[in-house]
Amino acid sequence: MYGSPEHGGWSSKRTLALQTEHNRSARGLQGMIFTRDDRAGEGKLSFRLGLVTDAVEVEDGQDVYASLVDHLAHGGRADYVIADEAQFLAEEQIDQLARVVDDLDIDVYAFGITTDFRSKLFPGSQRLVELADRVEVLQVEALCWCGARATHNARTVGGAMVVEGAQVVVGDVDQADTVGYEVLCRRHHRRRMASASARAAALSPDVLPVQQV
């Protein structure tokens, strides 16, 4: 089982998941894609540039190992498994993916981000790191609004960073009007200063220089 947790955002993780699918399907292989809470909707694996492919939506309490066995038992084919948004899977579902590798001898490629908007590990990501045969951490070349390397995921509501609420809320990046997400450096994540807050502070008359006549 190959785990690819990512620091600082979603885009590179999802790009790699789609590339993994494309490379294998181009060689005539057939895979099963599991995902959860993709912003394109149920049963979809998407990328912001418009690329979308069908996937199996994982539900609460679903046994992904049993789902794959059922697929194979009914004549389906699965040369490999891709699990995107692995951070949203339950710990037991990560265990089930490991069983796919051990008992069915099918490679599993799992992709997810490591920490939530509070800088806490997702249970699914933690279990993935604990069980994966190989872990590749994607150090994304994402930048905070200040220009420093982005290392933390932030949730915003109306452009303001929030640090309370449910761990999983589906939103999109750079959406200031509703629930959105953006990446920040540690300094500005600790200061709860998202890009909209920074712009508002820069435009405030209170911080403008005063000219003496």
Does 85 participate in catalysis according to the annotation?
Answer: yes
Q: Which residue of the set 42, 57, 59, 85 is catalytic?
A: 85
DSSP states along the chain: -EEEEEES-SHHHHHHHHHHHHHHHTTT--EEEEE-S-TT-TTEEE-TTS-EEE-EEPPTT--HHHHHHHHHHTT---SEEEE-SGGGS-HHHHHHHHHHHHHH--EEEEEEESB-TTS-B-HHHHHHHHH-SEE--EE---B-TTSSBP-EEEEEETTEEE--S-S----EET--SSEEEEEE-HHHHHTT--HHHHHHHHH-GGGSPPPP-
Active site residues: 85
